Amino acid sequence: NIPLLEVEDLAVEFATPDGVVRAVDGLSYSVTAGRTLAIVGESGSGKSVSSLAVMGLLQIPPARIVRGAIRFKGEDLLTLSPKEHRAVCGTHIAMVFQDALTALNPVHTVGWQLTEALRARRKMSRREAAARAVELLDMVKVPNAKERIKDYPHQFSGGMRQRVMIASALAMDPEVLIADEPTTALDVTVQAQIMTLLSEIQAERDMGLILITHDMGVVANVADDVTVMYAGRAVEQASVFDVFASAAHPYTRALLRSIPRLDQKGAGLEVIPGRPPDPTSVPAGCPFHPRCGYAEDVCRSDPPPPQHTLRYDRRSACHFAERVVQERGGVR
Ligand code: SF4
Ligand code: MG
Whether 295 lines ligand 1, by a CB cut-off of 6 Å, is yes
Distance 39 CA to ligand 1 centre (A): 20
Distance 180 CA to ligand 2 centre (A): 7
Q: Are 255 and 39 in contact (CB under 8 A)?
A: no
Whether 319 lines ligand 1, by a CB cut-off of 6 Å, is yes
Whether 318 lines ligand 1, by a CB cut-off of 6 Å, is yes
Q: What is the pLDDT of residue 330?
A: 44
Q: Give the angle subtended at the CA of 47 by the CAs of 214 and 294, to the nearest 5°.
A: 65
Ligand nearest to the CA of 44: 2
Q: Ligand 1 pocket check: which of 230, 294, 297 to mutate, most ligand atoms within 8 Å of Cβ? A: 294
Ranking 5-9, 87-91, 244-248, 267-271 by mean pLDDT, the lowest is 267-271
Closest CA to 211 of 232, 231, 191: 191
Ligand nearest to the CA of 97: 2
Q: What is the pLDDT of residue 100?
A: 67
Q: Tell me how far apart the alpha carbons of residues 281 and 274 are, in angstroms, rounded to a whole number.
A: 15
Bridge partners of 315, per DSSP, are: 237, 309
pLDDT in tens, 242-279: 999 989 999 999 999 877 655 555 444 566 778 888 88
CA-proximal residue: ligand 1, atom 3 (nearest): 318
Ion ligand 2: residues, CB within 5 A, are 48
Atom of ligand 1 nearest to the CA of 296: 2
Q: Are 235 and 252 in contact (CB under 8 A)?
A: yes
pTM of the model: 0.92
Max intra-chain CA distance, the chain? 68
Whether 230 lines ligand 1, by a CB cut-off of 6 Å, is no
Q: What is the pLDDT of residue 229?
A: 96
pLDDT in tens, 42-82: 888 999 999 999 999 887 888 999 999 999 999 999 999 99
pLDDT in tens, 138-150: 999 999 999 999 9
Ranking 30-39, 50-59, 300-309 by mean pLDDT, the lowest is 300-309
Q: What is the pLDDT of residue 266?
A: 47
Closest CA to 183 of 170, 165, 167, 203: 165
pLDDT in tens, 189-224: 888 899 999 999 999 999 999 999 988 988 998 999
Closest CA to 8 of 31, 34, 27, 25: 27
Q: Ligand 1 pocket check: which of 255, 288, 322, 324 to mutate, most ligand atoms within 8 Å of Cβ? A: 288
pLDDT in tens, 106-138: 899 999 999 988 888 788 999 999 999 999 999
Averaged pLDDT for residues 19-31? 93
